[in-house]
Amino acid sequence: MRDKDTTPVVPADEEGIARAAAILEAGGLVAVPTETVYGLAARADSAEAVARIYAAKGRPDFNPLIVHVRDVEQAALYGDFSDPVLSDIAQVMWPGPLTLVVERRADAALAEAVTAGLPTVALRAPAHPVMRALLEAVDFPLAAPSANRSGFISPTSAEHVLASLDGRIDLVLDAGPTEAGVESTILRIGPDDAWHELRPGPVDVAALYRDYHDREMPVGQAPAGITAPGQLASHYAPGKPVRLDAAQAEADEFLIGFGPVTGDVTLSASGDVTEAAARLYHCLHEAARSDRPRIAVAPVPDRGVGRAVNDRLRRAATPPD
Ligand code: TXA
Ligand code: MG
């Protein structure tokens, strides 16, 4: 049973979207489905609204937020898209699960806390029809991190959002489980036209690089200052020890299976990495609330979006400081 003074959850229909737009207008916080995970949205042009995101999540203030926009035209109000390759990638890949980190425009009407003092800004035009309708309904961009307490498992359903933010935010728009299941790929191009994949995700950066350059993407370390500050070693933590590459469970372990390894739940019985990405956080949430004190996870191949799954699993398995 939920208490009376908890966060309302409403269907993401026309009425729900209008209610969400009014709350955002007034500087409030709304959890909104995107094609990757549920985001915790606030107007990106208001210092007070953005401060509420950091407070609700308990997020360190050195960790900047992604700014969600309708399209590259709106993005160009906040970031520098004068590089033709960059603007072409935005045209071709948006709307979709790709975040581009670009130079922040000097005249960008964004709260300072959105970019956490960096000279760059992370922008993305999401594909989910509900998030798109919301961005059409308001005349400001939306800052939106994943809708979970900082460091914990990301949400792919309205229920997951409530599991960590109930009572701390103004509204949840419910449109069922999200499709991709892992957060957007983050790409930084530059300086010197070098490409840096700051976070693996649904969009394959190496394949995109081949499309533009007709050769393999050079592997190299991103120079200092060109990392995503939020990519902390410990993240997505279910609050219990996690053992990776497990072929079977020990007595006190909840096993998350994949392919031939059948567990208490499975990422994908057929061994499909795309399905594994879509089910990853659901399985981690199930493991977190089971009565077993430890979690084991079957190996997942490191190809395609399986790289993003393994990236998140490694962080989930790293104990917090
Ligand atoms: O799929 C997604 O991207 C979801 C949905 C809601 O859009 N959002 C999301 O936001 O994953 P969040 O806040 O959980 O992750 C944002 C990441 C962090 O790792 C942050 O450090 C990085 O983006 N980031 C933001 N601005 C940056 C910048 N200027 N330079 C480098 N990294 C940046
Ligand atoms: Mg997050």
Ligand 1 atom with the shortest distance to the CA of 66: 25
Residue where one domain finishes, among candidates 148, 174, 200: 174
Any atom of ligand 1 within 6 Å of the Cβ of 122 = yes
Residue where one domain finishes, among candidates 159, 174, 189: 174
Ligand 1 atom with the shortest distance to the CA of 144: 6
| pLDDT at residue 273, as a whole number | 98
| pLDDT at residue 321, as a whole number | 64
8 A C-beta contact, residue 39 and residue 30: no
pTM above 0.85, yes or no: yes
Any atom of ligand 1 within 6 Å of the Cβ of 320 = no
Any atom of ligand 1 within 6 Å of the Cβ of 306 = no
Closest by CA to 106, choosing from 80, 82, 88, is 80
Same domain (yes/no): 57, 162: yes
For the beta carbon of residue 85, count every other beta carbon within 10 angstroms: 13
| pLDDT at residue 319, as a whole number | 79
Same domain (yes/no): 21, 169: yes
Ligand 1 atom with the shortest distance to the CA of 65: 25
pLDDT tens by residue, 195-210: 999 999 999 999 999 9
Mutate to test the pocket of ligand 1, among 102, 183, 184 (most ligand atoms within 8 A of CB): 183
- The Å distance, Cα 181 to ligand 2 centre, comes to 12
Same domain (yes/no): 162, 289: no
pLDDT tens by residue, 117-166: 999 999 999 999 999 999 999 999 999 999 999 989 999 999 999 999 99
The CA distance from 141 to 125, in Å, is: 10
The CA distance from 100 to 244, in Å, is: 31
- Report the greatest alpha carbon distance in the chain: 59
pLDDT tens by residue, 184-196: 999 999 878 899 9
User: Is residue 85 domain-resident?
Assistant: yes
Count of structural domains, the chain: 2
Closest by CA to 140, choosing from 118, 112, 172, 108, is 108
| pLDDT at residue 138, as a whole number | 98
| pLDDT at residue 218, as a whole number | 86
Q: Is 17 helix (H, G, I), strand (E, B) or coil?
A: helix
| Cβ contacts of 234 within 8 Å, gap of 6 or more | 151, 315, 318, 319, 320, 321
Any atom of ligand 1 within 6 Å of the Cβ of 120 = yes
Question: Which CATH number is 38's domain given?
Answer: 3.90.870.10
Same domain (yes/no): 257, 156: no
Residue 295: give the domain boundaries.
Answer: 242-317
3-state secondary structure 254-311: EEEEECCECCCEECCCCCCHHHHHHHHHHHHHHHHHCCCCEEEECCCCCCCCHHHHHH
Q: What DSSP assignment string belongs to 102-171?
A: EEBPTT----HHHHTT-SEEEEE----HHHHHHHHHSSS-EE--BSSSTTBPPPSSHHHHHHHHTTTSSE
Any atom of ligand 1 within 6 Å of the Cβ of 65 = yes
User: Is residue 206 domain-resident?
Assistant: no
| pLDDT at residue 142, as a whole number | 99
> Looking at per-residue confidence, does 288 or 62 come out higher?
288
189 token code pair: 């191009």
Residue where one domain finishes, among candidates 174, 193, 208: 174
Beta bridge partners of 256: 265, 297
Any atom of ligand 1 within 6 Å of the Cβ of 115 = yes
pLDDT tens by residue, 261-287: 999 999 999 999 999 999 999 999 999
User: Is residue 227 domain-resident?
Assistant: no
Same domain (yes/no): 168, 250: no
The CA distance from 65 to 50, in Å, is: 9
8 A C-beta contact, residue 57 and residue 198: no
Per-residue pLDDT at 3 exceeds 70: no
pLDDT tens by residue, 213-239: 999 998 766 666 667 766 777 788 899
The CA distance from 78 to 72, in Å, is: 10
